[in-house]
Amino acid sequence: MTKTDKNKRSIFVRMDKLATIGLGIISFILGIGLWWFATYVGSTNLPSPIDVVIRCFELAGNGQLFVDIFASMRRVLIGFLLGVSIAVPIGFLMGWYRLARGLIEPWIQFFRVIPPLAIIPLAIVTMGIDETPKIFVIFLAAFLSSVVATFQGVVNVDRTYINAARVLGASDWVIFRSVVVPASTPFILVGFRIGLGSAWATVVAAELIAAQSGLGFRMQQAQLYYDLPTIFVSLVAIGILGLIMDRLVGRADEYLTRWQEKGTA
């Protein structure tokens, strides 16, 4: 491939991207316009976009919004980091040792079908009503998706890579470190992405049920007072933060697995 070829192609890619962004903006404006129109003609009792923006400034101005965001983010990050840092070693263990797999897998398969939220009553009764039960269910959500992904990643490592390492004189430990870990990284990162998504979903729901702070709590309070603009602001914040976190993991994924041959999709 010559250099000019490459340049040409990257220009095309950029134009494509610009077009996509442009369409996105147009679609956004149309959507908001439609919403505003619907509230303007009074065909719905939802707040208008303007009400929501005003409430957003109020909540941001008195700092309430940031306090809520901080409370929710803190729970998610602590739970998520705890979850994945325990999930990855256990997933490796399960993929590498038959014994570990046999002992651990039934439990994981069982807990995997229970929605983490369903653990909340149990967690509250046994752990009290402060941060611990909430962080625990988020931990569980992140742990379960990451442990399965890691384990799948190890099981799916191409035998050819392992054989190629063995014939070059690699010991089991070297194979693990230099082949199994990098080869399963793409799987693990998919698990992280799903784990973070489900942790975020779980925190909001957990706060709806039992919390004195956070975006979920704020919505639950607003519901009591029929305060629709605050509910909207919270929802939009949840969406935007979820998107940002997903993008961050996505970027990390792209970077760490840039060696992968991607099919021309």
Partner 1 sequence: MAQPEPKIIFRHVNKIFGEGPGAFQAVKDFSLDIAEGEIVTVVGPSGCGKSTVMNIAAGLIPLTDGECLVHGREVKGPGPDRGVIFQQYALFPWLTVRKNVEFGLKLKGIKPEERRTLAEHYIEMVGLSDFADSLPKMLSGGMKQRCAIARAYAVDPEVLLMDEPFGALDALTRVRLQEQLLETWSQDKRTIMFITHDVDEAVYLANRVIVMAARPGRLSKIIKVNLPYPRTDEIRLSEEFIRIRNEVWRGVYSRGADAA
Which token pair is 66? 């940031």
Q: Of residues 46, 53, 82, 170, which one binds partner 1 by CB under 8 A?
A: 170
User: Closest distance between partner 1 and the C-beta of residue 149, in Å?
Assistant: 18
Element (H, E) at 260: none
Q: Is the CB of 104 or the CB of 181 nearer to partner 1?
A: 181
Q: Of residues 182, 205, 208, 227, which one binds partner 1 by CB under 8 A?
A: 182
Measured in whole angstroms, the distance separating CA 108 from the mean position of its chain's CA atoms is 20
Q: Is the CB of 5 or the CB of 224 nearer to partner 1?
A: 5
The DSSP letter of residue 168 is: T
Q: Is the CB of 41 or the CB of 168 nearer to partner 1?
A: 168
Q: In terms of residues, how long is the chain?
A: 265
Q: How many residues bind partner 1 (CB under 8 A)?
A: 20
189 by Cβ neighbours in 10 Å (0-12 / 13-18 / 19+) ranks as: buried
Q: Which of 175, 222, 26, 18 is nearest to 214 (CA)?
A: 222
Which residue in the block uniquely carries the two structure tokens 């489900």?
Answer: 198
User: Closest distance between partner 1 and the C-beta of residue 259, in Å?
Assistant: 4
Runs of H (alpha helix) within 41-97: 49-61, 64-96
183 in contact with partner 1 (CB under 8 A): yes
- Measured distance CA(1)–CA(260) in Å, rounded: 19
Binding mask 139-168 for partner 1 (x = CB under 8 A): ---------------------xx-xxxxxx
C-alpha Rg value of the chain to the nearest Å:
23
- Measured distance CA(116)–CA(198) in Å, rounded: 9
Burial 146-162 (b: 16+ CB within 10 A, else e): bbbbbbbbbeebeeeeb
169 in contact with partner 1 (CB under 8 A): yes
Q: Is the CB of 165 or the CB of 245 nearer to partner 1?
A: 165
Q: Is the CB of 77 or the CB of 181 nearer to partner 1?
A: 181
User: Closest distance between partner 1 and the C-beta of residue 157, in Å?
Assistant: 11
User: Closest distance between partner 1 and the C-beta of residue 78, in Å?
Assistant: 31
174 in contact with partner 1 (CB under 8 A): yes
Q: Is the CB of 3 or the CB of 258 nearer to partner 1?
A: 258
User: Closest distance between partner 1 and the C-beta of residue 89, in Å?
Assistant: 20
User: Closest distance between partner 1 and the C-beta of residue 65, in Å?
Assistant: 42
Single-letter code of the amino acid located at 150: T
Q: Of residues 107, 259, 263, 265, which one binds partner 1 by CB under 8 A?
A: 259
- Residue ranges in contact with partner 1 by CB under 8 A: 160-161, 163-170, 174, 178-179, 182-183, 185, 258-261
